[in-house]
Structure 1
Amino acid sequence: MKIYGICMERPLKQHETDRLMSFVSAEKREKCGRFYHEEDAHRTLLGDVLVRSVISEEYGVNKEDIDFFTQEYGKPYAPAFPDIDFNISHSGRWVICAIDAEPIGADIEKMKPISLDIAKRFFSETEYRDLLSTHKDEQISYFYHLWSMKESFIKQAGKGLSLPLDSFSVRLRQDGRVSVELPENHKPCFIKTYDIDPDYKMAVCAAHSRFPESVVMKMYEELL
């Protein structure tokens, strides 16, 4: 398993955007062109090329020769490389990608003020109780911990929101470890959180517990 991150410390320059666009499919170029905000297009583009770069380095293929498809519930995969599972997430200035030989899910969330009523609607009773029992000054932080962990679980399962958010429970313990109360008949999985930015919460969910200790940071220049 490897986990990669890109911090968008500055906007992409036009020549960089043009170069990165040359690596992706016509469908992805069209999708990027539909975004109203340029930053959204850049995040989507960087996520796609990040996966291509990792596969290219691993297998010695050209980035533009890799084809992506989507599974029934929207999770992307590369059929020519069946021993690789990957997942992309982006929020704010961060783009992350987790790659493994087994199903994997990743999520990063930029923290912002939010109503905890959302947790009451979508989280399990256990999670909601944990959230309310957290010190008031820490509730927003823990909310985003829960949200990123649950999203990584959903994405690892590859079933989209056909798997209800309240059908399982996650808990971040004081020692930093994550416990998961699985839905019935669900395959075992493990979750690890990563602190890459004080304004963000990030989690990765995998089929085993052999997580890397840190995130490998990539620069624009490496993708170009």
Structure 2
Amino acid sequence: MIMGKVFCDQIRVIEWRKSCDYNLDNHFDIWRIYIPDHLDMLDHLSDTLSEEELNRFNNYKDTEDRNRHLLARYFVRKISSDYLKVDPNSFEIDYLENNKPYFKYYPHFNFNISHSGDYIVIGFANRWSVGVDIEFMNSQLDLYDMIINCMSNYEISMILNSEAPRAVFFKHWTRKESLLKGVGLGLTDRIKDVACVDGLNLIPSDLSSFASSWKIWSFEMGEYCVSIAHDSAVRIIRFYQL
């Protein structure tokens, strides 16, 4: 049986740059956007987003959720246009079977979006699929059922015996999410079988359609936990603050 190989580790220190050359090569570029800094743009998004996108997100009942989705879609277009040197209005977004978005006429340009609370995180890569996930580590949320239902037995033991169980849970949860988004599976009812502990993890063959090995890196931003996943062929990861 061929098992998918996933190596997980943590990043302790990150330099968030403010200047980008917009040359991806074989890089994996991570961008973070602090939503409160850009709320004044909401009234001008109709110049860039399609009518379908505006209607879709304007129907959200929760205002903060609506704003996150609108700004995330705007910034993925804006930043992508700088990489591809095209008009941001020229992008036509389509969806894969698992609802993963992509640019219809730029199939080799890959991006992945995640947002939570006050932050949006977007990952970009040329040729290589990538996945990102950010979660606000809500101290009021009861995690017990999610720990039991979504974590492997080893992960459950690690989380419940940790001095910081909430942080350890979110580290493993964002790793699973970023990997599944990156390889194009989406969430699965067998998420317990996708172990993402530090070091090497073997994923069952029926859940690992990826031929090469993957790497996942985790880090914290204050009350947020972030994980980024990429094919091991990617050699350089760069971090940018919009």
**TM-score, normalised via structure 1 length:** 0.86
Residue 217 (structure 1) shift = 0.8
**CA distance in structure 2 between the partners assigned to 1:194 and 1:211 by the alignment:** 16
Per residue, is there more helix in 1 or in 2?
1
Q: Which residue of 2 aligns with 1:175?
A: none
Q: Which residue of 1 aligns with 2:114?
A: 89
* Cα root mean square deviation, aligned: 1.7
Q: Secondary structure at the match of 2:196?
A: strand
Which letter maps to 1:39?
E
> Is residue 72 from structure 1 mapped to residue 97 from structure 2 by the alignment?
yes
**CA distance in structure 1 between the partners assigned to 2:38 and 2:82 by the alignment:** 25
Per residue, is there more strand in 1 or in 2?
2
Which letter maps to 1:141?
A
Q: Secondary structure at the match of 1:36?
A: coil
Residues 163 and 78 (structure 1), Cα distance of their counterparts in 2 relative to 1, 3 Å cut? farther
**CA distance in structure 2 between the partners assigned to 1:61 and 1:105 by the alignment:** 24
Residue 183 (structure 1) shift = 2.3
Residue 115 (structure 1) shift = 2.6
Q: 2:67 aligns with which of 32, 35, 42?
A: 42
> Is residue 181 from structure 1 mapped to residue 205 from structure 2 by the alignment?
no
> Is residue 4 from structure 1 mapped to residue 31 from structure 2 by the alignment?
yes
> Is residue 204 from structure 1 mapped to residue 204 from structure 2 by the alignment?
no
* Unaligned 5+ runs, structure 2: 1-27
Higher deviation after alignment, 97-106 or 202-211: 202-211
> Is residue 170 from structure 1 mapped to residue 196 from structure 2 by the alignment?
yes
Question: Structure 1 runs of 4+ off > 4 angstroms?
Answer: none
Seq. identity, %: 24
> Does the aligned pair in 1 maintain the 2:130–2:230 contact within 8 Å?
yes
> Is residue 19 from structure 1 mapped to residue 44 from structure 2 by the alignment?
yes
Residues 163 and 21 (structure 1), Cα distance of their counterparts in 2 relative to 1, 3 Å cut? farther
> Does the aligned pair in 2 maintain the 1:86–1:100 contact within 8 Å?
yes
Residue 154 (structure 1) shift = 1.1
Residue 10 (structure 1) shift = 4.7
**CA distance in structure 2 between the partners assigned to 1:36 and 1:11 by the alignment:** 20
Q: Deviations over 1:129-151 (max 9, x none)?
A: 2212312xx00111111111111
Q: Deviations over 1:69-112 (max 9, x none)?
A: 01001100112112211110000000010011211110000011
* Unaligned 5+ runs, structure 1: 173-177, 219-224
**CA distance in structure 2 between the partners assigned to 1:162 and 1:215 by the alignment:** 29
Which letter maps to 2:90?
D
**CA distance in structure 1 between the partners assigned to 2:137 and 2:188 by the alignment:** 26
**CA distance in structure 2 between the partners assigned to 1:106 and 1:67 by the alignment:** 22
Q: Secondary structure at the match of 1:215?
A: strand
> Does the aligned pair in 2 maintain the 1:68–1:76 contact within 8 Å?
yes
> Is residue 153 from structure 1 mapped to residue 174 from structure 2 by the alignment?
no
- Larger RCO (CA within 8 A; separation ≥ 6): 2
